[in-house]
Amino acid sequence: MLRYIAKRLLHMIPMLILISIVSFAIIQLPPGSYLHTKMAELRASGDQISMDQIEALRIHYSLDQPAHIQYINWIKGIITEGNFGFSFEWNRPVKHLIWERLALSLVVSVSSLLLSWVVAFPIAIYSALKKHTFADYFLTFVGFLGLSTPNFMLALILMYVSSVYFGFSVGGLFSPAYLMAPWSLAKVIDLLKHLWVPMVVIGTSGTAGLIRVLRNNLLDELGKPYVVAARSKGIGIARLTFKYPVRIALIPFISTVGWQLPQMISGEAVTATVLSLPTAAPLLLGALRSQDMYLAGSFLLLLSSLTMIGTLISDILLVLVDPRIRYE
């Protein structure tokens, strides 16, 4: 087992290098950069002091060097001192901006993932046991509806309904009072009060997919001879279902964490913009618009690294849970 994990970790290194190259290449794609735009503006207004400052930044971050040198400097900074570069737009080091945002992104994504599990699990089992009944068709339809509604639509509808019919506005992750406050128990409780809206919005799309996978797996299992044999020996249907087929059908919950997490982060990206959540995506979007390259690049790099770690965790869990999988 340890050998398997070690092998997988080694395997991740070239992948991470590739991902960092792609992240860097993407933010280099657009012509011009934040500093170029800024300098042109300053030149127009004739502000010499700021111009000198920016020129210093340019030389410090070797922006006058070719792209591969810039890339190597950036990576060297990340590995040796955890320095992700400098955000020119915010005028602060990137590492001061990203961690809290990323943590909140992860909180929102993971809680949405959990919600989708909690909702999908009973629905899928019910659907499979009562297949081709009205309830099954109805639940399947609702699931498809959730899959077909764009996240931002759902967010907009929730916002509309809550302000028209219930008279309060949803959005954000904190009440104004706690926005700038340091972390405390009260702030966490406040966060939990706001978290349900994005959880519902992001969770719905994932739920539908999970219901289908789990239902189909369960249907395959329920038709197998061992189920018939166990029934003929007199084991009650509920006890039997939960003891064997459900356990096998549960495997997708674990094996799909790997690709559900990036899906959740994706969904979170759009939802966060609509609900103005203080998570990674709105900052990333802003950074992409203003071509604040180190900020945008670091976010891309970290979000995809998270995904890779998620895949690794789900593979390891899969080996632990399913004895039929060997890890040679």
Partner 1 sequence: MDPNLVPQPELIDEPEVLQDAEARVFYATQWRLMWWKFRKHKVAMVAFAVIVVMYLGAIFAPLLAPYRADERHRGFVYVPPQKVRFRDEHGFSLRPFVYPLEQEIDMQTMQRKFIEDPTTRIPIHFFVRGSSYKLFGLFETNIHLFGADGGKVFLFGTDDLGRDMFSRILYGAQISMSIGLVGVFLSLLLGLFFGGISGYYGGAIDNVIQRIIEVLRSFPTIPLWMALSAALPPDLSPIGVYMGITIILSLIGWTALGRQVRGKVLAIKNEDFVIAARLSGTSEPRIIVSHLIPSFMSHIIASLTLAIPQMILAETSLSFLGIGLRPPVVSWGVMLQKAQNVNTLMMAPWLLIPGLFVVIYVLAFNFLGDGLRDAADPYGN
Q: What's the Rg (C-alpha) of the chain?
A: 25
156 binds partner 1 (CB under 8 A): yes
Among the residue ranges 44-52, 61-69, 231-239, 273-281, the one whose residues contact partner 1 (CB under 8 A) = 273-281
Which stretch in 111-119, 141-149, 175-183, 196-204 sits in contact with partner 1 by CB under 8 A? Answer: 141-149
Q: Considering the rule CB under 8 A, would residue 6 count as an interface residue with partner 1?
A: no
If binding is defined by CB under 8 A, does position 30 make contact with partner 1?
Answer: yes
Q: Does 34 bind partner 1 (CB under 8 A)?
A: no
CA distance 311 to 174: 31
Task: Give the Cα separation of 20 and 27 in Å (integer).
Answer: 11
Measured from the CB of residue 182, what is the shortest distance to partner 1 in angstroms?
Answer: 29
DSSP state of 90: T
Q: Is 303 in the site for partner 1 (CB under 8 A)?
A: yes
| Three-class DSSP labels, 260-289 | HHHHHHHHHHHHHHHHCCCCHHHHHHHHHH
Q: How far is the CB of 30 from partner 1 (least distance, A)?
A: 5
* Closest approach of partner 1 to the CB of residue 80, in Å: 24
Spatial distance between the Cα atoms of 155 and 146, rounded to a whole number of angstroms: 12
- Among 6, 22, 177, 181, the residue binding partner 1 under the rule CB under 8 A is 22
314 touches partner 1 by CB under 8 A: no
279 near partner 1, rule: CB under 8 A: no
Which residue, 78, 74, 33, 82, is CA-closest to 54? Answer: 33
Please measure the distance between the N-terminal and C-terminal CA atoms of the chain and give it in whole angstroms. Answer: 9
Query: Is there binding between residue 29 and partner 1 (CB under 8 A)?
Result: yes
Q: DSSP for 286-310, please give it.
A: HHHHHT-HHHHHHHHHHHHHHHHHH
- Tell which one of 99, 138, 144, 183 touches partner 1 (CB under 8 A): 144
Q: Is 152 in the site for partner 1 (CB under 8 A)?
A: yes
Contact between 256 and partner 1 (CB under 8 A)?
A: no
| Residue 250 CA to its chain's centroid (Å) | 22
Determine the distance from the C-alpha atom of residue 204 to the mean position of all C-alpha atoms in its chain, rounded to a whole number: 14
| Residue 283 near partner 1 by CB under 8 A | no
Check binding of 106 to partner 1 (CB under 8 A). no
Residue with tokens 């309904």: 161
270 binds partner 1 (CB under 8 A): yes
Q: Which residues pair with 87 in a beta bridge?
A: 92
Nearer to partner 1, 199 or 272 (CB): 272
Judge whether 292 and 88 are in contact, CB under 8 Å.
Answer: yes
114 near partner 1, rule: CB under 8 A: no
- What is the smallest separation between the CB atom of 163 and partner 1, expressed in angstroms? 6
Structure tokens at 206: 């994932």
- Whole-angstrom CA distances from 64 to 25, 128, 188 are 16, 62, 45
Contact flag: residue 311 with partner 1 (CB under 8 A): yes
Closer Cβ to partner 1, 38 or 187, answer by number: 38
**Closest to partner 1 by CB, 39 or 285:** 285
Among the listed residues 209, 214, 202, 216, the one whose alpha carbon sits nearest the alpha carbon of residue 277? 202
> What are the residues binding partner 1 (CB under 8 A)?
14-15, 18-19, 22, 26-27, 29-31, 144-145, 147-153, 156-157, 159-160, 163-164, 169, 171, 259, 262-263, 265-267, 269-270, 273-274, 281, 284-285, 288-289, 291, 296, 299-300, 303-304, 307-308, 311
